[in-house]
Structure formats: C-alpha cells, structure tokens
Chain A
Amino acid sequence: MTAPARPPGQAESGSGWYVYGVVPATETPEGLFDGVDGVGGGTVRLITAGQLAAIATDVPLAEFGEAAIAENLRDPAWLERGVRAHEAVLQAALAALPVVPFRFGTIYRGEDHVREMLSEQERLTDALDRVRGRVELGVKGFLSPVALESEPSGEEDAMSAGRRYLVEKQRDRQLADEREALKARWAEESHRRLAAVAEGATANPVQSREISGRDEEMFLNGAYLVATEREPQFRAVLAELGRELGASGALYELTGPWPPYNFVEDPA
C-alpha cells in the first residue's frame, strides 16, 4: 500500500483510520466511547473483523499523513494533545475489557485495510489472551540525594590545602562508586521482589535527572503486568520496599494502571 508520490510540501487530501489498539469484538459494551474525544477531536468507533475489533478514528491525512505527522510531532502542543487523546481512548477501553495498545500514529487508508490487518495478525489474539485480567503498573525508584553523604572526618583541618584537595577528590570518587553500587543493588532487589508478584516484568533504562525532572537519581524504571486480584499484594510489596530501603534513602513512585504498553510486543 504505497502512497502515491507527491511533491514535497503538498499536504495529502482525504482521510484515514487512526488505530489506537485492539479489543475482543464480542465483549465491547454499548456506548463505551461516549463522551471520549479521539485524536484530532474525531469520534471513536470500532472496526470489526472476526473476533477482533480495532478502536479507530477517522482522521484527515492533511494532519495525519506521513509528512504531516512527522512535521506535527515537532510541535509540543500538538504532540501533547495527540498522546493524551490516544491514552484517554485506551483508558476508556481498559476500564471495561482487555486491550492491546498500538503505538501512536498507526494509520490505515481505508476500513478494508484495517480489517485486513485484523485478520492477518494472529499475534494480536495471543496478546489479548496474555493481558486479559491484568494491568500494567509503573514503578520508579529514586535515590535520595542525602543518602551516602559523607561526614568530614575532622582530620582535614590539619592538612595542607593541596593534601586536603587530594583527600576530598579521592573521597568524592569513592562515594560515586558506592552510589553506583547501591543503585545497582537496590534496582536488582526491588525488581526481583516486585516481579515475584507480577505476571510480567520489564526493567526499562533509567531516565537522567534532566528527563525525570527530579533531583534524585533514578535507579529503577520498571513496568509490571499485574493480575487484577494480585494488585493489593503488589502494592504491599512496594510499601514494604519503601519501608525497608526507604530508611536508607530510597523513594518509590507508582503510576498506572496503564494499558499494557510494555507487554504486547512479541514475548521472548
């Protein structure tokens, strides 16, 4: 399905179907998306093929065509509206039934193309089975800046300025090593204990302080697929970690429930 070549800078005309994700066709209640605005402000509806239904919105290609979408992504206001709408639609679905989320910006030129995709993708059925009755929870772990701050030994006063500089330099280096070791140990222990009460677990790369927007260094950026009935247990383990490691300067942040974004791509 290749797009006809067009001179650069010229907007595409016509419309396409923006697909948010997939749900089981037979389980969708009436009015599931009432009052929920789709991307571009459009209406949300289902396109069904066999056992599967795609959650979709009719979008103008002038805004969501290949060139237009690449351009629009650079506009933070457009991007924010888009990702928030994408998430809101999936959250509405998640409240009622299992959902397999797609990545932002998956668009088909016609309803027949959406149906074709649904009937060709057996892995979507597998993914739906995998996430049924489960939610994704996010846990970030942070190391408080006060953890591991060294006390001056008092010996420094008797040293020459040059000697003191060297001693302090060495202590800084040693402290940095200790912090790294501590973060690795906490990451491993936290992830292991949380994964033990989850059906799936993934440790994503930690974010820099610039990205996380916090003073604390992140040591864990985990996502967990948790069975609904085990959610209280998961929260209890997290609270326990907060008490045990919190005494040494660990802070945890729980987000979700999310649509299972981290658990729908090909399992190993």
Chain B
Amino acid sequence: MNGASPAAQQEVTLLELVDRVLNKGVVLTGDVTLSVADVDLVYVGLRVLLASVGTLEQLESSPQ
C-alpha cells in the first residue's frame, strides 16, 4: 500500500505509539495498573479498526 491514505498512515503511527506506550516502558504496580488482559483487548480493538480501514481502502480503490 504505497499510496496509503493519510487516514491509514495515521492509524499506523498510532499503532507504532501503542506498541511502545502500552507494551514497553517500566511496569510498576501502581494503585491503578493496566492488566495484561486490558492491553490485549486494545490490540484486538486496533486490529479490527485497522482491518476495517484496509477494507475500506480496497473498496474505494478497486475499479468499478
């Protein structure tokens, strides 16, 4: 997808961020801490989101 739409590129950048901000960094047990299950859910949500962006693009770019 070399001609990815700006919207799609933004999602990828968000994913790049999520990959670091939610997955890496020092993990401490604060009074409130995200559980691994919560973080996994984020990924499931993002995958659905990204998959639907991809599908939309294919639909838009496919010749009629």
Contact = CB atoms under 8 A, between A and B. Distances in A.
Given A86-B21, A214-B4, A265 B27 contact: yes
- The range of chain B's interface size is 35 or more
Nearest to A68: B32
B16 to A, nearest CB: 6
Given A83-B17, A213-B4, A215-B2, A106 B33 contact: yes
A261 B28 CA distance: 14
Nearest to A65: B32
Given A127-B26, A213-B8, A214-B1, A69 B21 contact: no
A47 B37 CA distance: 30
Majority secondary structure, B binding face? helix
Contact of B34 (A65, A73, A84, A213): A73
B31 A262 contact: no
Contacts of A65: 32
Interface string B31-64: 1111100110110011101110110000000000
Majority secondary structure, A binding face? mixed
A163 to B, nearest CB: 34
Interface residues of A, number: 51
Contacts, number: 132
B22 A104 contact: yes
A65 B33 CA distance: 9
Contact of B42 (A73, A86, A215, A259): A73
Interface in A99-153: 100-109, 113, 117, 121, 124, 127, 138
B2 A69 contact: no
A213 B33 CA distance: 30
Contact of B20 (A212, A213, A258): A258
Contacts of A212: 12
Contacts of A121: 28
A73 B4 contact: no
B1 A262 contact: no
